[in-house]
Structure 1
Amino acid sequence: MTSVPRGPLAGIRIVEIDAIGPVPLAAMVMADMGADIVRIARRAPTGAQVWNDVGGAVLYRSRSHVALDLKLPAERDALLDLIDRADGLIEGFRPGVMERLGLGPDVVLARNPRLVFGRMTGWGQAGPMAMRAGHDINYLSLTGALHAIGDPGAPPTVPLNLVGDYGGGTMFLVAGMLAGFLSAQRTGEGQVVDAAITDGVGTMLSLFYAWLPTGHWADERASNLLDGGAPFYRCYTCADGRHVAVGCLEPQFFAEMIAGLGLEERGLVQADRAGWPAMEAELAAVFATRPRDEWAQMFAATDACVTPVLSLREAVNHRQATERSSFTVRDGIAQAAPAPRFSATPAVIGSDGETGLSAVIDRWAR
């Protein structure tokens, strides 16, 4: 019986240089897909190891960890030997740090011409902001995304770090690495992938930048179809203080929502923007008459696009998640199962833990 490879990236070898934000999640995604990834964590000259930090129980899964002090020539040279055997490398330092460590693209690509060198930053490798510090909220602020999220008359709402770090960062780094691997397999030549969160978020905003000059999008918060301005695409407070999400954009779904609320005779016109404030007030009043879960049950078998707003703990136990096995429990921690799903080479969570660099080099030499 032929064994099935663990994930579609089985056989791909990646060196991950310790970082925060988008890099560890990108490594987790590719490791879940079967890539053999070794995470190079920092080690102080005293030998103190710091690789198992907060979040590592989930974000560092499916791969091994090696603690090194890259300022020591012998340990840096050992890492170069490992990179010589790798298909890819990902790092999240500010521009120039890898070069100062003697691990820049000019060095490693000269030694391993087929290597795909992934660089993850907030601002990119060039430009007036390239050397400045920043975090998710700062990157969103310069793309227009942060300005567009929140209530009118109030400061913009911080959308967790899903939009910047993980959307504009992780997912574009993963896409860039996969494209780089395909190109290297075809041409035998690697390259540098310059992934910047601001670039990725700007790309994700393409629809809204397309709408802006046409008048389909106003450059003001909560005044548009998808930003909470529409009464049929927003959240409402229920009788128990919890919330439901309403997303009935299409007329037929809007009609189902109105019927479920018993408002068919009110003559509410979905496309009448002038009537949106009055419609919102009416919907808010009705949703406030019942608790969240009662509304959820009433709308569960409809296409009204009304769903409960679940907490993180509740989401893990929702029927859709449990029947699809969207979450798994590992070492006592509930976490997302590998995604996306593959029919021929299913992705699974692999083993992880600390190991020696020489053991990894020996394994990759085979």
Structure 2
Amino acid sequence: MLKGIRVVEIEGLGPGPFAAMQLADLGADVITIHRKSGAVTPGMPERSLLDRGKRSIALDLKDPDDLETALCLIGTADALIEGFRPGVMEKLGLGPKPCLARNPKLVYGRMTGWGQDSPLADTAGHDLNYIALSGALWYASHPNQPPQTPATLVGDIGGGAMYLVAGLLAGLINAQRTGEGTVVDAAIYDGSAHMMNLLMTMRQTGNLSDTRGESLLDGPHWSRTYTCADGGFISVQCLEPKFYAQFLQILGLAKDAEFQIQYERTLWPDLTQRLAEIFASQPRDHWDAVFRGTDACVAPVLNPQEAQEHPMNTHRNTWQDIDGTLQAAAAPRFSNHQWNPRPSPTRGEHTKDILAQINDPR
């Protein structure tokens, strides 16, 4: 879908590389400027799956000749992605001013936690810190327990990478229409707060409480996970009455007077305990078999390897083993394009070819 779009990515961590991978998955020619030093961040592989579909050039951005090479490459690009603290790219000589001077149509994407201009812009932070301060972490727990959220997903990926991608795509459309580039300031703090707007609609009707466990989606017995007899988990979220009725019918609770009163908050704790006892009586796969194919809105909680082996994945082929690495396929899908990624490159693998193309970018 993005064939003919070139994106230059400055090597970084987390949401920036993920956003660049998403654009590569969509067909863009993503060129990552890797450090010549070859230093790998602790815990990260030499060939990261986040680099799939990309090309790699190795440069030392503190070397004047390599810096000029980077500027020439940026001059051939439609978009740029960087994820440093504010001011770092300016010190390197690769801030928006020189890059847009070289390439007026460039969409310059900046990925940070706190934004380019804020009281915390120059301070360090991570996924959990950003969503804690934005309000996005508040409902991520049961009552009287510390908030806990899946690592990196809500902040780095949801509030960060995907908002950067949206901003870049909007900027590219605008550049094609007007001939003018732009700077995209994508802050995880902003994006994670923006994702809360769906929940904030419930506040308008009194269904979102400031107290955890008392809102429409984080307190009911029909909106949580339960532990099964084998230590596995089952998820339940039958919000609408017709789905809740089917849930009760399958469990043999359709005539239970208390369960019939779905939205009575005072009953939720006791009904939660009763369901916990029911689900604890059988293993997870039993409940999966009981509810599979129904509209009761119940599903087993799987790890990625189990998800790959589940019948759902047999059809969708979402989880794949590529070059010995378990990973999820590109999303979304398109009716007239087939995803067929190139493998992740080694550091600097395409340097020679990219240098040859700089004077003939298309």
Using the size of structure 1 for normalisation, the TM-score is: 0.93
SS for the counterpart of 1:341 is: coil
Instruction: Tell me which residue corresponds to 1:298.
Output: 290
Mean CA deviation greater in 145-154 or 235-244: 145-154
Instruction: Tell me which residue corresponds to 1:4.
Output: none
Contact 2:8/2:77, CA 8 A, preserved across alignment: yes
Whether 1:322 and 2:321 are equivalent positions in the alignment is no
Contact 1:245/1:309, CA 8 A, preserved across alignment: yes
Instruction: Return the alpha-carbon distance in structure 1 between the equivalents of residues 251 and 294 of structure 2.
Output: 12
Which structure 2 residues correspond to residues 205-216 of structure 1 after superposition, within 5 A? 205-212=196-203, 214-216=205-207
Instruction: Tell me which residue corresponds to 1:333.
Output: 325
* Percent of residue pairs bearing the same amino acid type: 49
SS for the counterpart of 2:299 is: strand
Instruction: Tell me which residue corresponds to 2:228.
Output: 238
Aligned residues: 355
1:280 is displaced (CA, Å) by 1.1
SS for the counterpart of 2:203 is: helix
Aligned residues: CA RMSD: 1.7
Q: Residue deviations 1:241-276, cap 9 Å, x none?
A: 211100111111111111111112212111222211
Q: Among residues 251, 259, 270, which one is paired with 2:249 in the alignment?
A: 259
Contact 1:51/1:67, CA 8 A, preserved across alignment: no
1:129 is displaced (CA, Å) by 0.6
Q: 1:241 to 1:225 in 2, by over 3 A?
A: same
Whether 1:142 and 2:133 are equivalent positions in the alignment is yes
1:178 is displaced (CA, Å) by 0.6
Q: 1:51 to 1:236 in 2, by over 3 A?
A: closer
Q: Among residues 14, 20, 29, which one is paired with 2:7 in the alignment?
A: 14
Instruction: Return the alpha-carbon distance in structure 2 between the equivalents of residues 209 and 129 of structure 1.
Output: 25
Instruction: Return the alpha-carbon distance in structure 1 between the equivalents of residues 267 and 145 of structure 2.
Output: 23
Which structure 2 residues correspond to residues 1-366 of structure 1 after superposition, within 5 A? 8-44=1-37, 48=38, 50=40, 54-55=44-45, 56-212=47-203, 214-227=205-218, 229-267=219-257, 268=259, 269-353=261-345, 354-363=348-357, 365=360, 366=362
Instruction: Return the alpha-carbon distance in structure 2 between the equivalents of residues 115 and 298 of structure 1.
Output: 54
Contact 1:63/1:350, CA 8 A, preserved across alignment: yes
Contact 2:100/2:106, CA 8 A, preserved across alignment: yes
1:52 is displaced (CA, Å) by 11
1:77 is displaced (CA, Å) by 0.6
Instruction: Return the alpha-carbon distance in structure 2 between the equivalents of residues 126 and 198 of structure 1.
Output: 12
SS for the counterpart of 2:117 is: coil
Task: Tell me which amino acid in the other structure corresponds to 1:24.
Answer: P
1:154 is displaced (CA, Å) by 2.1
1:217 is displaced (CA, Å) by 0.7
Q: Residue deviations 1:13-42, cap 9 Å, x none?
A: 010001111011111111011100111112
Q: Residue deviations 1:69-91, cap 9 Å, x none?
A: 11111111111111111111000
SS for the counterpart of 1:39 is: strand
Contact 1:51/1:65, CA 8 A, preserved across alignment: no
SS for the counterpart of 1:147 is: coil
Q: 1:306 to 1:293 in 2, by over 3 A?
A: same
Task: Tell me which amino acid in the other structure corresponds to 2:334.
Answer: F
Instruction: Return the alpha-carbon distance in structure 2 between the equivalents of residues 319 and 265 of structure 1.
Output: 33
Using the size of structure 2 for normalisation, the TM-score is: 0.94
Instruction: Return the alpha-carbon distance in structure 1 between the equivalents of residues 149 and 250 of structure 2.
Output: 32
Q: Residue deviations 1:266-309, cap 9 Å, x none?
A: 12111222211221122111111111101110111211111111
1:317 is displaced (CA, Å) by 1.0
1:331 is displaced (CA, Å) by 0.9
